[in-house]
Structure 1
Amino acid sequence: MTPPPPTTPDITIPVSRWTDDAVGDRTRRTRRRLLLAAAAQFDTHGYRGAALSDILEAAGLTKGALYFHFRSKLALAEALLDEVERSCSALFAEIGGRGLDPLWQLLVETDAYVGRWMYDPLVRGISSALQEPELREMQTNWLAAWESNTVTLLREAHAAGLLIAHVDPLRAGRAVVAMASGHFGLAQGPDDLWVRMSESWEGLLPIVTTPDWCGRWEGSDWRTRPRPVAEDYRRAREP
């Protein structure tokens, strides 16, 4: 009897969404406009090169509106990172509710990270800002949280017998985050980033996962999974 073909779990990527819905409508819209404008300036000019006057001009707001919400450019960067981290947690919660095994969950979560780096204006902006030495501690904490989550999923995969016995989840988790963040720095545009990370998984998974799991993954639709769509991220971040 011929075995059924491998099935592919739900590996679609949820798109970023705002997590500040508890704030009043008018305040929320103003705050979002400021964060989007700051992110755009950070992405284009870096943290040091982004002037508050240019952020206000891009947002179409006054100094009074800015200082009502944020006391400084640093406060803008901190609020931007907070929104990025909170929206990431919301995405991971959604992915975690799909009932995926830990390795599939890791693949989808990493795709979500990469998709946000590709097209989420807030993520792109804060990623550029955090390259500055005075914000490096914020970057380290952000990436450390991602690394911790990745290691946790790989430990769960190891306990479930999905990884080859000698694989160290800690070292593997560090490698995954280093791969993704390194590709972000090297990629020549969003499409190149997606291709680079996909190629890395194709090289890593066959040497760390069990033949049974790897066979199911290789027989799945993962290689032809839908790519992130820029317009989806733009619409999701409208004020």
Structure 2
Amino acid sequence: MPSESAPPVPELPVPVSAWADEEVGDRTRRTRRRLLLAAATVFDTHGYSGAALSDILGLAGLTKGALYFHFESKHALAEALLVEVCASWLQLVEEIGRLGVDPMWRLLLETDAYVARWMYDPLVRGISRAISEPDLRQRRLEWLSGWEHATAERLGQAEAAGLLAPGVDPVRAARAVVAVASGNHSVADGPDDLWTRMSESWEGLVPILASPEWTARWRDSGWHDRPRPDGARYRASREP
């Protein structure tokens, strides 16, 4: 249990709607969402190269005409899927920012959110597998580079606030955090194992990265017993 002096563990926000396409008309939006969700599901199951447009259309319950009205190819579907995933991620980052927590807590929350989306968000699962293949490798490199940059920015803010351990370089530390998270994703045996592995990794990383004072408060906060993500809520947030 948290000590009386320790801050409570901030709750991980899950948007009511995880989509970021509100500027699109209602009818167009519903069709696009069905196509993107179907594409992500097929990518997650068969990979990008193994995904057939006929399987995507069959899962979406739509015709070729509907597909080609919105997307000219499977590659265009993957690109649109990546844009949607990145845009909805920025929405979630903004929501975490509104909690008003310090930069180290914010980094932990953002990483939890990242991992939770990997675990349960069908769009994130689908595009993650798709960009792991040679056809979209450049997109994977860009994805990881952006994640490293954002993590380094958060660690730089923590350094400015006096929350990092002496001698910690935010850029190098960010590379380590992203490498650990992506490595855990690669070897995890399912969503629960990924959450456990990342939690255990933070137990080793936080005492190295954060100041002794911040680490002590974190250990007393009850973070280790925080609730796991609700998979049903993440999946429901992607319903067209």
TM-score (norm 2): 0.96
CA contact (8 A) 1:12 1:225 kept: no
Counterpart for residue 87 of structure 2: 86
Q: How many residue pairs get matched?
A: 237
Q: In structure 1, the residue corresponding to 2:199 is in which secondary structure? A: helix
- One-letter identity of the residue aligned with 2:171: L
Counterpart for residue 117 of structure 2: 116
**In the alignment, structure 1 residue 182 sits paired with structure 2 residue 171:** no
After the TM superposition, which residues 157-168 of structure 1 pair with which residues of structure 2 at under 5 Å, given as runs?
157-168=158-169
Superimposed CA distance per residue, residues 183-225 of structure 1 (whole angstroms, 9 cap, x where no aligned partner): 1110000000000000000001112211110110000021111
Counterpart for residue 195 of structure 2: 194
**In the alignment, structure 1 residue 53 sits paired with structure 2 residue 54:** yes
C-alpha distance in 2 between matches for 1:220 and 1:4: 9
Aligned-pair distance for 1:5? Answer: 2.6
C-alpha distance in 2 between matches for 1:101 and 1:236: 27
* Aligned residues: CA RMSD: 1.2
C-alpha distance in 1 between matches for 2:80 and 2:104: 32
Counterpart for residue 42 of structure 2: 41
**In the alignment, structure 1 residue 11 sits paired with structure 2 residue 15:** no
C-alpha distance in 2 between matches for 1:207 and 1:126: 32
Identity value in percent: 63
Counterpart for residue 96 of structure 2: 95
C-alpha distance in 1 between matches for 2:54 and 2:7: 53
Gaps of at least 5 residues in structure 1 are none
- One-letter identity of the residue aligned with 2:46: H
C-alpha distance in 2 between matches for 1:69 and 1:128: 22
C-alpha distance in 2 between matches for 1:4 and 1:56: 55
C-alpha distance in 2 between matches for 1:172 and 1:196: 18
Superimposed CA distance per residue, residues 93-140 of structure 1 (whole angstroms, 9 cap, x where no aligned partner): 110111111000000000000000000000000011111112000111
Counterpart for residue 203 of structure 1: 204
Gaps of at least 5 residues in structure 2 are none
C-alpha distance in 1 between matches for 2:12 and 2:54: 39
CA contact (8 A) 1:158 1:165 kept: no
C-alpha distance in 1 between matches for 2:11 and 2:203: 16
- One-letter identity of the residue aligned with 2:141: T
TM-score (norm 1): 0.96
C-alpha distance in 1 between matches for 2:117 and 2:228: 12
C-alpha distance in 1 between matches for 2:235 and 2:124: 12
Counterpart for residue 72 of structure 1: 73
C-alpha distance in 2 between matches for 1:5 and 1:101: 16
Aligned-pair distance for 1:30? Answer: 0.5
Superimposed CA distance per residue, residues 130-155 of structure 1 (whole angstroms, 9 cap, x where no aligned partner): 11112000111111111100000101
C-alpha distance in 2 between matches for 1:141 and 1:12: 26
